[in-house]
Amino acid sequence: MELYKLTAHAAMDLLNKKEVSSTELTKAVISRIESVENQVDAYLTNTFESALETAKNVDAKLASGKTLLPLEGVPMAIKDNICTNGIRTTCASKMLENFVPPYDAFVAKKVKAIGAPMLGKLNMDEFAMGSSTENSYFKKTKNPFNLNCVPGGSSGGSAAAVGADMAMYTLGSDTGGSIRQPASFCGVVGLKPTYGRVSRFGLVAFASSLDQIGPLTKDVEDAALVMNLICGHDEMDSTSVNLPAEDFTKALSTDVKGMKIGIPNEYMGEGISAEVKEAILNAAKLYEQMGATVEYFDMPSLSSALPAYYIISSAEASSNLARYDGVKYGYRTENYSDLMEMYKNTRSEGFGNEVKRRIMLGTYALSSGYYDAYYKKAQQVRTIVRGGFENAFKKYDFVLSPTAPVTAFKLGEKTADPMEMYLADICTVSINIAGLPAISLPCGIGKDNLPIGMQLIGNSFDEKTILHAAYAYEKNAGLELKPQI
């Protein structure tokens, strides 16, 4: 087996047994990137030299007889909206094309501290706004299972890199499904942690009450390992929750006897394709064969989650993106005669169409006379959605649903109709609104060899239950996915 195909935990085992060096692992993944990047287009910036330097230091530590930390020496990559000291962080936008942060995000510090060779920064939808990675200013990332299809978004580069073995794991961000939906499209595992579980310090803000950083990995065990790495209280983030450290790998078990699983009827209705529905029903049957109980139930508030999400997220985006004015940092237009024209031209030229669309939607929703009708009402819906989940968790250990209503669609297929693109998030946005944890993992293969993902939704700060259930499914399903490249 080629080294670049290894899972992170398999790579760790070989490193600890001294059967392979970190330099060999890193070179193998770099070689893989160099051979397929021109087809996948996942990376915006590569940092191969510093990755090899880190790997060399890890090998020196191994040679001296010291024990490696978990994930030390395992090559990975980071979504390009997570700040990295001295390394370009663009958010895939012209606005930040040449922005080099003077500090590391909390999670980037964690990765650096354990000695993980960081291979580079990954493509995304501009400022994380999109579901296909077609909104990037720089390039369009392709799906490793079918190069004519999108990888999903906004963490499309992060998912495609793992799916194409161009990183052993990656970090992405999830505001309305941006880790889980591309994980589903690219046949990998994506975990969105509970809001507040992972520090947002150094994550370039899109919608501050919804954003969360999380892992994209080759299997569930790797997701648990990366969660162990990136969790922890951070005084630099006022929403970071101070909880005792947990070892998520201890939750991994194949026994689900007695578990109660709820499937909301709203997630299995209109808009969900027949092949996705069938894959979810088959997954539910497998859980029943393993000894779990599956029930269908109604959760009417879910039908209001998507419009509420787009009002809340656009309002917060309007507010957060006001800082890009051409004065302090980032792009500044060359064509202006006074300050107001400089603001206007900078923002007109620096932002792409989707970002402008959301800024305008959000500004409208927050404007005088409309605030109560839109933003306040959306926040009230948010409370109702959260209440619906709280009631569900009184009865069920976790909630099961499709991750996305369809498999990966063709490049360019939905770009003309923003509403159709927004519907790709119909199964994921409610989880961000409620601040809950959810994991996406492959549960089937649709037509054209495209993966189908299922989503396990847990109660607040109960990542252990969904990791446990996901691991049990993964081990019993024995699903084998074969990318095109």
Which residues belong to the active site?
79, 154, 178
Give the residues across from 175 on adjacent strands.
none
Residue type at position 333:
T
Q: How does strand 260-264 pair with strand 189-192?
A: unpaired
SS percent in the chain: helix, strand, coil, step 5: 45, 15, 40
Q: For residue 195, give both structure tokens.
A: 């809001």
Q: Rounded CA gap, 93 and 130, in Å?
A: 13
Give the Cα separation of 300 and 323 in Å (integer): 38
Q: How far apart, in whole angstroms, are the C-alpha atoms of residue 246 and residue 250? A: 9
Residue 50 burial (10 A CB sphere; 0-12, 13-18, 19+): middle
Residues 120-148 as b or e (16 or more Cβ within 10 Å = b): bbbbbbbbbbbbbbbbbbbebbbbbbbbe
Nearest one of 401, 455, 468 to 180, comparing CA atoms: 455
Q: How far apart are CA 266 and CA 259, in angstroms?
A: 22
Mapped onto helix, strand or coil, the DSSP state of residue 248 is: helix
Concatenated DSSP letters of 352-379: -HHHHHHHHHHHHHHSTTTTIIIIIHHH
Q: What is the CA radius of gyration of the chain?
A: 21
